[in-house]
Structure 1
Amino acid sequence: MFLKKSTAMSSILLLVGMLSSITVAQSIGVCYGVLGNNLPSRQEVVDLYKTNGIGRMRIYYPDEEALQALRGSGIELIMDVAKETLQSMTDPNAATDWVNKYVTAYSQDVNFKYIAVGNEIHPNTNEAQYILSAMTNIQNAISSANLQIKVSTAIDSTFIAPPSYPPNDAVFTSDAEPYVKPIIDFLVRNEAPLLANVYPYFAYANDQQNSIPLAYALFTQQGNNDAGYQNLFDAMLDSIYAAVEKVGASNLQIVVSESGWPSEGGGTGASIDNAGTYNANLISHASGGSGTPKRPGGSIETYLFAMFDENQKQDAETERHFGLFRPDKSPKYQLNFN
C-alpha cells in the first residue's frame, strides 16, 4: 500500500527533523575525570551518560574499565594519551602497540572519535618536544589499522594574545607560534580539528581590571559589545580562530574539548547558581546552530567539564568543584542535554 504524496512528504520532513535533532543533541559532550575517591563505578557512569542523553565523552587516559563499560553504548569518545607516556609515543613501535592495545582492541564496539595527544602542553615544558612526533606516530598506526579516528592535541587560552578582545586581533604568542604551527599543519593535512579548552570562568575570575561583566561571561548580557560580541565564550573561541587564520589554516575546525564553571571553592563568581546558568546557556548556545560571529551557523562541538567534582585534584579549591553531578549521581542543577 502506497502513502499519499503529502503523507510521504510529511514523513520525510519528520525524519529529517529527527535526524537534525539528533545531530544537534550530539554537539554536547561531558568530560569524565576520575580524580576522586568517592565516585561511582565506570559502568554506573556510562549508564548515567545514557540516561541523560549525553552522547559524547572525554577520558584523560586509556582507562580500560571505562572502555569496557563503553562497549556497545554508542557514545562518541575523545581519549587522551596520558602525559606520562607522551615521550614513549615518539617511538613508532610503542605508538603502534598503544593503538593496538587501547584502540584497535575496542574499536568494534567503542565509538572513538578523537585521540588527544597531550592536554594543555605548553611550549616551554619538557613534554612539548614530543607532541608532534607522537601525533604522527599514533596517526600512522591508526591509518595502518584502517580506522577512521582523528588525532589532535588540546591547547588553552594562554597560547593566544590578546586572549579575547578584540577577537580579530588575536595571534599566537611568540612562544606558542613556532610550537603550534607545525601541529596545525599536521591537523590540516589530516583534516582533523584542533582541540581547545575554553574557560570564560578563568578569564572572568582573573580579570584584575574588572572589565569583564559577569553577564558577559554567563551568556546573559543583552546586546553586543563594541567588537560585536554578546558573550565571552564566542569571543575566546573566535580569538583562537583568528590566530589559526594568521598561520594559514583558515579552514581548520576547532572543537571545544573543555568548558565549565565551578559551583563553589571560594573563587570569584564560583557559585551553584552561576555554574548552573553558565552550563545551561552553553548547552543551548553550542547546540543552537548560531555558531560564533567568525563561524556563523552550525553547532559548536563542545565538551562540558566535568561529570563530577574531583576531590583529589591538587590545584586550587575551585578546581575540585566543576562537576555537573554529585557522587551519588544526583544533578547539582537541572540541565537538558537534549
Structure 2
Amino acid sequence: MSIIFMLLGILSIGLKFTGVESVGVCYGVNGNNLPSRQEVVDLYKSNGINQMRIYYPDEQALQALRGSNIELILDVAKDTLSSLTNANEATNWVTKYVTPYAQDVKIKYITVGNEIHPSDNEAQSILPALNNIQNAISSANLQDQIKVSIAIDMTLIGKSYPPSDGVFSDQAKSYIQPIIDFLVSNGAPLLANVYPYFAYIGDKQSIPLDYALFKQQGNNDVGYQNLFDAQLDSVYAALEKVGGSNVKIIVSESGWPSAGEDSATTDNAKTYLSNLINHVKSGNGTPKRPGTIETYLFAMFDENQKNGAATEQHFGLFNPDKSSKYQISFN
C-alpha cells in the first residue's frame, strides 16, 4: 500500500512540474536596432523561454520558429481586421500564414484584434473576423491545435474594485457579449493585457507601490495581496456576469517599464518581473482562480521607434545587443 502512495506522490510531483511552463515573452519589432529573427528565436531558446507572442504574421519569424518547440500567439495585424470580414480573405489568411507552418510551429492562439475598443472603427469587424478565422481553422482541421480569440485591455472593465464587483462598462457590454458567446461556444480563452503599472500610475493616492510590485505583506481589506490578482479577478468577475464563467483568461501582456516616467525604474521593473514570474508559476493563482496563470511578459526588447508615452520604449527585458537588462530566471 505504501508503495502505491509513493508512486502516486511521484506522479503528482511530475504532473505539478509539467504543468508549470516557463512564462512567455512578447516579441515586438518597433525598433531599428534589433537582432535578426533567427537570433531572437535562439535567444528565447537559450533562456528557456518556451512561449512567444508576435503582433502580425511575420513570415521571417515564423520561418525561424520552425522546429523550435516554442508555443506561439499569432496576432492578426490591426490593418488586416476589416478584410477578414470576408470569408474568402480569412481563408486566404489562414492558408498563407497558418497552414504552411502548423506542422512545425506550435501556433497555440490566433488573436483577432489587440486592445480594440468599442468606439474604434475596427470594433465592428471583430466578430465576423473571429467567425471567419475560426471556420478557416476548422476547415484546415486545426481547431484542436489552435484557439481563436481576442486580446483586451483593462479599459473595457467599468468597475474593477472590489474585484468581485468587476463588470464590463456599459459601452463595452454590447461589443463584448457576442465575443464572449463565441469564446464559450468554441472553448477558447480570453486574452487580457494586465498592467498593474498603469493602474498604479493612474491612482497613486490609493494604490501603494508595494501592492503593485507584489511586495505587500498580508491581504488588504478585500482579501488581496497584490494588484495583479485583483485586476485579473475583476475580469473573471466581469466574465461571469456575461455568461463566461467557464472562460479561462490568458494574460497576453504584463510588464513594467524601466525608464520614461516616475516609478519606471530598473529596480522596480526587475522587482515586478521577478515577482510576477514566481507568482504565476507558483500554482497559487488568484483568490478567485487557483492554479498556474499562463502569462506573457511584455516585452523582449526596448523598442526605440514605438509611439506613445516615453515609457512605451522601455519595457524590454533584453537590450538590443541581446544582453539581459535584468538578471531574471524564466524557469
From 17, 25, 38, the equivalent of 2:13 is: 17
Instruction: Work out whether 1:66 is the aligned partner of 2:61.
Output: yes
Q: Give the distance between the partners of 1:247 and 1:231, measured in 2 at CA.
A: 26
Tell me, yes or no, if structure 1 residue 293 matches structure 2 residue 287.
yes
For 1:257, the equivalent position in structure 2 comes to 252
> TM-score normalized by structure 2?
0.96
Q: How does 1:97-108 map to 2 (within 5 A)?
A: 97-108=92-103
Q: Deviations over 1:167-190 (max 9, x none)?
A: 111110011000000000000000
Aligned-partner Cα distance in 2 for 1:43–1:11: 42
Distance in structure 2 (CA, Å) of the matches to 1:79 and 1:88: 17
Tell me which moved more, 272-281 or 17-26: 17-26
Q: Match for 1:235: what amino acid?
A: A
Q: Of the candidates 43, 46, 51, which is equivalent to residue 51 of structure 1? A: 46
Distance in 1, matches of 2:240 and 2:12, equals 34
Indicate yes or no: 2:324 matched with 1:331. yes
Separation in structure 2 between the aligned mates of residue 292 and residue 15 of structure 1, nearest angstrom: 25
The 5 A counterparts of 1:1-338 are 17-26=13-22, 28-147=23-142, 148-163=145-160, 165-207=161-203, 210-265=205-260, 267-296=261-290, 298-338=291-331
1:6–1:227 distance in 2 versus 1, CA, 3 Å: closer
Q: 1:25–1:337: 8 Å Cα contact kept in structure 2?
A: no
C-alpha RMSD of the superposition: 1.6
The CA deviation string for residues 166-216 of structure 1, in whole angstroms up to 9 with x for no partner, is: 111111001100000000000000000000000000000111x61100000
Q: Structure 1 CA distance, aligned partners of 2:186 and 2:325?
A: 40
Cα pair 1:24 1:287 within 8 Å, conserved = yes
Give the deviation of 1:9 after TM superposition: 8.5
Aligned to 1:178, what secondary structure does the other structure show? helix
CA–CA separation in structure 2 for the residues paired with 1:171 and 1:273: 34
Which structure 2 residue ranges, 5 or more long, are not aligned? none
- Contact kept in structure 1, 2:108 and 2:146, CA below 8 Å: yes
- The 2-side partners of 1:10 and 1:50 are apart by 34
Are 2:158 and 2:170, in contact at CA under 8 Å, matched by a contact in 1?
Answer: no
Amino acid at match of 1:55: N
Q: 1:122 to 1:67 in 2, by over 3 A?
A: same
| Distance of 1:89 and 1:287 partners within structure 2 | 36
Distance 1:6 1:25 in 2: 31
Cα-to-partner distance string for 1:248-270 (whole Å, 9 max, x where unaligned) = 111110110000000111x1210
TM-score, normalised on structure 1?
0.94
Unaligned runs of 5+ in 1: none
Distance 1:227 1:11 in 2: 40
State the shift of 1:161 in Å: 1.8
